[in-house]
């Protein structure tokens, strides 16, 4: 993979991991429009590196929150911090189940099915639109909410459904504070990313070629920097009820994808 492709893929991963536009959907659309030769398939190692970069950017943005949670949880008292950690664990359960038992079925959906991607982007647009109209509250995520949000995260494993869009929208539609919803959405994915990275490493499928060191490093930096920007920006957008812009964007891209699929079917 050349340096330009590494930068482009890194920026796409960094931005779309946090912005509610579906990174998987955009990559599928890009490959379909430009062709597989124009957009090279990402190696498993490169994918792992990009995911690690976005997870690290989340940790940097929420470093104070994470340190506070760790300190509070280590007191081993049923305080707010330990409860928050417990909610994150609960939210992970649906995605873990889907990832473990339906991995092959999910991978089969990432084969250029642009009609599916377009349809899922329309659903993402609707979620964002309704979430943006919800009234702001001071309510924090409950244990039941955590499970429901976790289910939406599992559904977001489909290409075209934005993970951040689905989880934030679900949380807001459940009546939770918008800022708290964004915070929970971004923090809940960090353990899943590191779990997926560990799974890929232990699988023995990762192969490293020293010739790819430069592209891996540049891709990592691009994803990390883009992730820092997107994560910070997204928190501000959710707080200011600016998700409608992304809803319109997803709807337009979704319609284009559906038309593209029909015309080339």
Residue 186 · residue 54 · CB < 8 Å: no
Provide the pLDDT for residue 103: 76
List the domain range (segments joined by +) for residue 42. 3-263
Number of domains in the chain: 1
Is the pLDDT at 173 greater than 60? The verdict is yes
CA 170, 166, 15: angle at the middle one, nearest 5?
A: 135
Q: Of the ranges 14-28, 74-88, 107-121, which is most confident?
A: 74-88
Global pTM value: 0.84
For 154-167, the pLDDT digits (tens) are: 998 888 888 888 99
- How confident is the model over 185-189, as a mean pLDDT? 90
Is the pLDDT at 174 greater than 90? The verdict is yes
- How confident is the model over 9-19, as a mean pLDDT? 82
Provide the pLDDT for residue 83: 93
Backbone angles phi, psi at 191, to 5 degrees: -60, -35
* High-pLDDT (> 70) share of the chain, %: 87
Distances 25 to 84, 87, 95, 109, 232 between C-alpha atoms, Å: 31, 28, 18, 11, 22
Q: Return the residue matching tokens 């599916």.
A: 116
Distances 9 to 42, 153, 196, 237 between C-alpha atoms, Å: 9, 23, 19, 24
Backbone angles phi, psi at 129, to 5 degrees: -60, -50
Provide the pLDDT for residue 42: 47
Provide the pLDDT for residue 229: 92
DSSP 174-211: TT--HHHHHHHHHHHHHHHHHHHHHHHHHHT-----GG
Provide the pLDDT for residue 149: 96
For 196-245, the pLDDT digits (tens) are: 788 777 777 666 666 677 888 998 999 999 999 998 988 888 878 788 88
Spatial distance between the Cα atoms of 2 and 165, rounded to a whole number of angstroms? 31
């Amino acid at each position: 993979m050349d340096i330009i492709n590494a930068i482009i893929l890194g920026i796409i991963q960094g931005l779309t991991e946090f912005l509610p536009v579906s990174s998987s959907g955009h990559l599928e659309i890009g490959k379909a429009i430009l062709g597989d030769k124009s957009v090279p398939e990402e190696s498993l190692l490169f994918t792992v590196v990009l995911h690690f970069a976005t997870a690290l950017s989340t940790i940097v943005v929420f470093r104070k929150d994470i340190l506070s949670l760790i300190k509070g949880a280590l007191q081993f008292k049923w305080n707010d911090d330990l409860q928050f950690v417990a909610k994150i664990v609960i939210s992970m359960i649906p995605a873990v189940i889907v990832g473990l038992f339906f991995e092959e079925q999910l991978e089969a959906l990432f084969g250029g099915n642009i009609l599916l991607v377009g349809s899922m982007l329309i659903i993402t647009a609707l979620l964002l639109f309704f979430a943006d109209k919800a009234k702001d509250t001071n309510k924090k995520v409950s244990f039941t909410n955590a499970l429901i949000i976790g289910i939406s995260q599992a559904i977001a494993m489909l290409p075209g459904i934005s993970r951040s869009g689905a989880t934030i929208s679900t949380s807001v539609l459940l009546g939770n504070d918008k800022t708290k919803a964004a915070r929970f959405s971004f923090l809940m994915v960090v353990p899943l990313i590191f779990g997926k990275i560990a799974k890929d490493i232990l699988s023995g499928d990762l192969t490293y070629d020293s010739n790819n060191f430069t592209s891996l490093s540049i891709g990592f930096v691009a994803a990390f920097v883009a992730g820092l920007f997107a994560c910070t920006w997204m928190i501000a957008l959710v707080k200011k009820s600016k998700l409608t812009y992304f809803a319109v964007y997803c709807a337009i891209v979704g319609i284009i994808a559906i038309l593209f699929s029909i015309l080339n079917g």
